[in-house]
A and B are shown apart, each in its own frame.
Chain A
Amino acid sequence: MKVKLIEIAHGRSGDKGDAANVGIIAYDDKGYEIIKKELTVKRVKEYFEGVCLGEVVRYELPNLRALNFILHNTLGGGGTVSLKLDAQGKTLAAALLRMEIEI
């Protein structure tokens, strides 16, 4: 069955220079196993094609049932230089939570 990621997880995103960090947190242990399986670096990179122009790096935080993604070359040069409305990538966690995943 397919659901939107937002049904099993929440998250927060922000900026680190020209990279964005997107943290995704599962609501329970089962959800964490699902996001670990579904949110591969490859899928996240494809999902943000045209937004993230660099490498995607994934880190695991099992203690918080969370994954942290670093999206390099994403914010149009970073906080003060960027012309983007969302220059700090604050809405990118919400963008990822809209992804359809298999549960």
Chain B
Amino acid sequence: MKEKIRIASGQGFWGDLIEAPFWQVTSGQVDYLVMDYLAEVTMSILQKQKNKDPKLGYARDIPPLMRRILPICSEKGIKVITNGGGVNPRGCAEAIAEVANSLGISGLKIAVIEGDNINNRLDELIAAGAYLENMETGEPIDSVKDKLLSANVYFGAFPIVEALQKGADIVITGRTTDTGLTLAPMIYEFGWDKEDFDKMAVGTVAGHILECGAQATGGNFLGDWESIPNMEKPGFPIAEAYPNGEVVITKHESLGGAVTIDTVSEQLLYEIGDPTDYITPDCVADFTSIQLKDEGNNRVRMSGVKGKSYTPFYKVSCSYEYGYSSVATLTYSWPQALKKGKAADAILRKRLENLGCTFDEFRTEFVGYNACHGAAAKEVNEDEINEIMVRFAVRGNDYASVERFGKEIAPLILTGPPAVTGFAGGRPKPSSVVAYWPALIRKELVTPTVLVLEV
């Protein structure tokens, strides 16, 4: 057994710093590179891409990234684990195999984890007793079933562990929990028992710290953000894990950013609910048990993590069509910038009403005044406002109304309050809105499969 392993985060979402995974594998020693590409909305976008071209449906950044890092990973023995397979992990693996072939790399094992995509099995699963009611509202799935775009189960760490046991150098999954990507190599390398819930919680918490990339190493840091050095080239977090269940969160020394108790604590608090009840397919972790110790030199040691048994359910993430939306902005300058913005808003609403347009929601925000903090923003003296960007946004099921909204913005420049600018890029077009439907499904109804391609 290895005395420790170093797991490097390479991406916090699809659209994150393209250079980051390259820096992670070239700036110091690591054993694993883990990359989270999937936000809730991403699966529906990928499903639409796959509907147009059956070869697509995965994070298309992956093949060009692999072209850069595969030779390095092969030479150094770094394994890559990512959920960027989206709704087509096999297609993603085949694209990576092509890259490996063209680079002359052979003997590479690429594992594909499937079975999470249940969009085509819904009737069968419902008949088998999966109700899939909305976890937040309790509504039955029937109300959106005809409008569903995607439906995926969140698998945990164990399908990835199986892939590693089968010798995989690269593991491509569909919908897998972000935390499972980091927990899996710890289970595989240290032989942790799946019923040892404290250990499962250790890897889960480490995964939570790594899953948003540089948000654990000084990015988006609300503490003394100006003290964070060299953010033009930030080190993404690295979890240095030990068989006894201790983990040191660190980063490559030569890269920027910082790892302190403050930066790690902010990430621990990100998007959590009840801290004693952090539920994953692998365990339920207790964030109030985490002990952090700053060892200096950008090393924070985590110990004492407690966990409880997993639940009988997987979480299911469905997406469905939810009408159309459109957003447009205009900017008003001093004098009376805010008052003019509000007047323009009143004119626009009246014109759309006179045209018979209907919306489910019409939201106007005043950027520079209250767009971020809404009613919690401080009142300001009108004369001190230099300029205001008015952000108009509408959403509804009537495409024609949403489209007409987009045609009523530019006219405000010549037919509304003065000292207005900032309308560019043509009439905004309606975008399709995709809503998210969270549900639960009993674990025995879905089975992950692991397939290994050999190059």
Contacts and interface: CB of A to CB of B under 8 A. Distances in A.
Interface of A: 10-12, 14-18, 21, 23, 25, 27, 47-51, 59-64, 66, 68, 70, 76-81, 83-86, 90-95, 97-98
Given A68-B273, A79-B40, 13 more contacts: A10-B222, A12-B267, A12-B270, A21-B269, A25-B269, A64-B292, A76-B361, A78-B436, A83-B325, A83-B394, A93-B222, A95-B373, A98-B378
Contacts, number: 134
Interface in B271-317: 271-276, 287-292
B387 interface: no
Interface stretch (B28-36, B165-173, B185-193, B364-372): B364-372
11 contacts: A10-B262, A11-B222, A12-B270, A17-B136, A50-B374, A66-B265, A78-B436, A80-B41, A83-B327, A83-B395, A85-B367
Contacts of A80: 40-41, 319, 322, 433-436
B25 interface: no
Interface residue range, chain B: 35 or more
Contacts of A77: 361, 435
Contacts of A23: 266, 268-270, 272
B445 to A, nearest CB: 24
Contacts of B274: 59
Given A83-B327, A83-B361, A59 B275 contact: yes
B265 A64 contact: yes
Contacts of B367: 85
Contacts of B220: 12, 90
Given A17-B438, A51-B373, A68-B272, A81 B322 contact: yes
B52 to A, nearest CB: 20
B375 A49 contact: yes
A57 to B, nearest CB: 8
B266 A12 contact: yes
B223 interface: yes
Given A16-B273, A21-B269, A25-B269, A51 B376 contact: yes
Nearest to B134: A17
Nearest to A24: B269
B266 A85 contact: no
B365 A84 contact: yes
Contact of A68 (B222, B269, B322, B433): B269
B290 A64 contact: yes
A21 B268 CA distance: 12
B435 A81 contact: yes
Contacts of A76: 361, 363
A14 B271 contact: yes
B222 A12 contact: yes
A11 B136 contact: no
Contacts of A64: 265, 268-269, 287, 290, 292
Contacts of A48: 375-376
Contacts of B327: 83
Interface centre among B270, B290, B322, B365 (most CB of A within 10 A): B270
Nearest to A96: B376
A25 B292 CA distance: 14
A12 B376 contact: no
B223 A10 contact: yes
